[in-house]
A and B are shown apart, each in its own frame.
Chain A
Amino acid sequence: MACFLVPAAEAIVTAIAAKVMKSNKKQPETVKVQLSGTDIETAEKLSFSRKLKWLSNLLWGGSALLAFEHIWHGEVVPWFPFITAAGDPAGTAQMLNEMATVGVAMAGLVTAVWIGIIAVASAAEKKAIKRPLNDSGAQ
């Protein structure tokens, strides 16, 4: 009915937060890493604003395609009140219930997957940063 509105709202919040964080940040932190082979390169450290942009991208992408699905099924229309279920009280109650269950679960799972991506990225980053330090320490 309107479950996509919950992840869409989260997408707006994360997009604004990522923009604010990016604008407040001065200089990107650089680190020496070993990306492939034996060459040690200087790379930009993953900032939290960039990580937050990933979540924002996931939420925007999913919400956009889900909104299209709702238009397809006639649940979202281009005239007031835009969501067909919002036309009567019973429909509105059902819509709010769906937003609270399906919508929140969608936003929650996307966020959980993003946390997983961040964990993997942070582990890979730590490994890449550690390696050159260990190599130079051994010499």
Chain B
Amino acid sequence: MTLLTTVFAAIISTVVWYRGAPKSVMQVGILCWIYWGASIMWLVDAVFEYAELHEKYFTPSPSDMLNDLYLGLSVVALGLVIWIVVLLIKDPKGVVKAALFKKKN
């Protein structure tokens, strides 16, 4: 469930990035790297888990599924937090600088 949630987040962020590319003022590319990186790593995790559990891997208990979904959504939120922090630090539109240092005429 965590893998699935992250893959969907990666696909959505890639579509959003493609729509805005190549200007990328909102730095959505960062989100793509984060979610795709995590998706690849969780895919490996899933393969190892499948090798251990076999067909049971696909029939998790409802409580495990709910916990994994909760974790997946939390992970997506963390990715968004990292992205927003990077966006504010890089400040490509100069909005933060303008808000911090009000110019005197």
A residues touching B (Cβ–Cβ < 8 Å)?
3-4, 7, 54, 57-66, 68-69, 72, 101-102, 105-106, 109-110, 113
- Asked whether, in the complex, the Cβ of B38 is within 8 Å of the Cβ of A65, the reply is yes
Interface of B with A (CB < 8 Å)? 2, 6, 30, 33-45, 47-48, 71, 74-75, 78-79, 82
Establish whether residues B40 and A68, one from each chain, have CB atoms under 8 Å apart when the complex forms: no
Specify which of B2, B36, B42 is in contact with A58 (CB 8 Å cutoff): B36
Q: How far is the CA of A59 from the CA of B42 in the complex (A)?
A: 12
Contacts of B75 in A (CB 8 A): 65, 68-69
Complex alpha-carbon distance, A104 and B47, angstroms: 13
* Alpha-carbon distance A106/B33, docked complex (angstroms): 15
| Cβ–Cβ contact B78 & A113, under 8 A | no
State how many angstroms separate the Cβ of A62 from the closest Cβ of chain B.
Answer: 3
Considering residues A61, A63, A66, which has the most beta carbons from chain B within 10 angstroms of its beta carbon? A61
Q: Are A69 and B44 in contact (CB under 8 A)?
A: no
B41 interface neighbour in A57, A66, A72, A101, Cβ under 8 Å: A66
The prevalent SS among residues of B at the interface is: helix
Determine the chain B residues whose CB is within 8 A of the CB of A66 once the complex forms. Answer: 38, 41-42
CB-CB < 8 A to B78: which residues of A? 64-65, 68
B44 touching A105 by the CB < 8 A rule? yes
Given contacts A68-B74, A69-B2, contact A62 B40 (CB under 8 A): yes
> Which of these, A57, A59, A65, contacts B30 with CB under 8 Å?
A57
The answer to whether B37 and A109 have CB atoms under 8 Å apart is: no
Contacts of A63 in B (CB 8 A): 37, 41
Residues of B within 8 A of A58 (CB): 33, 36-37, 40
- B33 lies within 8 A of A61 (CB): yes
Complex CA distance for A72 and B2, rounded to whole angstroms:
12
Contacts of A57 in B (CB 8 A): 30, 33-34, 37
A34: min CB distance to chain B, Å? 15
Docked-complex contact B44 and A109, CB < 8 angstroms: yes
